[in-house]
Structures are given as structure tokens and as C-alpha cells.
Amino acid sequence: EAGVVQSPRYKIIEKKQPVAFWCNPISGHNTLYWYRQNLGQGPELLIRYENEEAVDDSQLPKDRFSAERLKGVDSTLKIQPAELGDSAVYLCASRPHGGTGELFFGEGSRLTVL
Amino acid sequence: KNEVEQSPQNLTAQEGEFITINCSYSVGISALHWLQQHPGGGIVSLFMLSSGKKKHGRLIATINIQEKHSSLHITASHPRDSAVYICVLGGGADGLTFGKGTHLIIQP
């Protein structure tokens, strides 16, 4: 069975450009997380979904970041416009439901903003 | 909010040594996860624990619910075990709480 799939693995853009990351969670997993991880630090939650509902987006910088999970399956995280400080690894994770069960992470999408 | 402390923050050991990484927390939880992250790599879930002990190959994880403490052990450590090991608490409505991680280096 495929794990959590993320794309792209790497992205280099200039500041003020838009960027989007895609995540396909494990089949049947209702809970989906987007995290941002800066170099040498732990992951920071951006948004958590239960099916298509964003149940925790309090840490999402809504002026430039947006996310969607329209059919409660795969999800997209967008940054527009990107800033230098957005350079980080964006991690997607999923769990079966209700924030319970085994936790699975994708490989991450490494963003470099020049 | 649940507080989580991992120790040690950094650990360097020789190949073959027995490794222990600790995780303590302040509020009762439903589950605890141990994750592994190699430099530049993604995160792999090693264990999810709600009680007792689990073993997978050379890795052993234990949890004591009453003492609010978990340990991750590595037997016969190998340089490929070099990674950051992260303790993660909880789930459910409260989401996840990440420890700061333990940077482990196993020297040949």
C-alpha cells in the first residue's frame, strides 16, 4: 500500500511567486495535517483536517497561505505570494480518523525562496 | 496544554552501544508516538503506544502511563540509526504535541 504521497519534493522559486504543494494521504485516512519544519527545528502545525473540514487552522498565516481538501481525500497547500521566510520543508501527515490511530508522514516538500 | 520534555537533546555513542532516549509529559494522554527523521529526509513513524511495551527489530519502546514517561531503546546501535528521534503526544481534539527531538549520532 502506498504511504502518504507529496509533491513536489523540491521547489525553488523567487520571492513574491506563488507555490502549491499537494498531498495524497493513505487511503481511508480521514485526518490530514500540514506541518512546516524549519531547519533544525520541530514541525509546526499549519492546519488539520477531519475529512474536508479544517478543524484547526489557527496557526495558518491566512494572509498568504491557503489550503483545501475539497473531497476529503487529497489536499493542496498554497502560498501566494511567497516570502524568504517561507523557505522550509512542508510535511503532510495522515491518520485514520478523529486524530487517532497510527500517524504516517509523507517525504515532505522542500521549498527554497530566493 | 501538555508539556513534553525529551532527553537527552544530543547523544553521541559508539556502534554497538545500547541507546536510551526519554520522553516525559505533564498531562495524561491517549497515545504517544516515536518518530525518526534522518537528515534531509522525511519522517518515519516507529511506534504508537498507549500502554506497555512494543518491539520492532532492534528498537524497543515502553510507556508508563502512571509516571507519564516513555523510553525508546536501541540495541546494538549502528551508524544508520543516526537520526533525530521525536516523541509526539496525543491526538484527538487536542491535536499533536511534538517534543524537541533527540539528535543521535552513532560513530563506527
pLDDT (tens, 9 = 90+) of chain A, 114 residues, equals 679 999 999 999 999 999 999 999 999 999 999 999 998 888 999 999 999 999 999 999 999 999 999 888 999 999 999 999 999 999 999 998 776 788 899 999 999 999
Given a cut of 60, is residue B108 above it in pLDDT?
yes
Q: Which residues contact B13 (CB under 8 A, 6 or more apart)?
A: B19, B77, B104, B105, B106, B107
Q: Phi then psi for B88, rounded to 5 degrees?
A: -130, 130
CA torsion B62→B64→B69→B72, rounded to 10°? 0
Q: According to the model, what pLDDT value does residue B102 have? A: 96
* Cα–Cα distance list, B24 to B60, B66, B70, B83, B101 (Å): 17, 11, 6, 20, 12
Closest CB from B44, B93, B95 relative to A45 = B95
Q: Phi then psi for B43, rounded to 5 degrees?
A: -105, 135
C-alpha cell at A102: 497510527
Q: Name the amino acid, one letter, at B104.
A: L
Q: Rounded to whole angstroms, how far apart are CA atoms B31 and A99?
A: 11
CB B88 within 8 A of CB B96: yes
How big is the A-B interface in CB pairs under 8 Å? 49
Task: Name the percent of chain B in helix, strand, coil, to the closest 5.
Answer: 5, 60, 35
Cβ–Cβ contact A103 with B under 8 A:
yes
Q: According to the model, what pLDDT value does residue B56 have? A: 95
pLDDT tens digits, one per residue of B40-58:
778 899 999 999 999 999 9
CB contact under 8 A, A56 and B95: yes
Q: Strands, E, within A1-82: which ranges?
A: 5-7, 10-13, 19-24, 31-37, 44-50, 53-56, 65-68, 75-79
Q: According to the model, what pLDDT value does residue A1 have? A: 63
Given a cut of 70, is residue B94 above it in pLDDT?
no
Please give, rounded to a whole number of angstroms, the shortest distance from the CA of B97 to a CA of chain A: 9
| pLDDT bracket for residue B74 (50, 70, 90) | very high
Query: Which B residues in the span 37-96 are in contact with A, Cβ-Cβ below 8 Å?
Result: 41-45, 48, 86, 88, 91-96
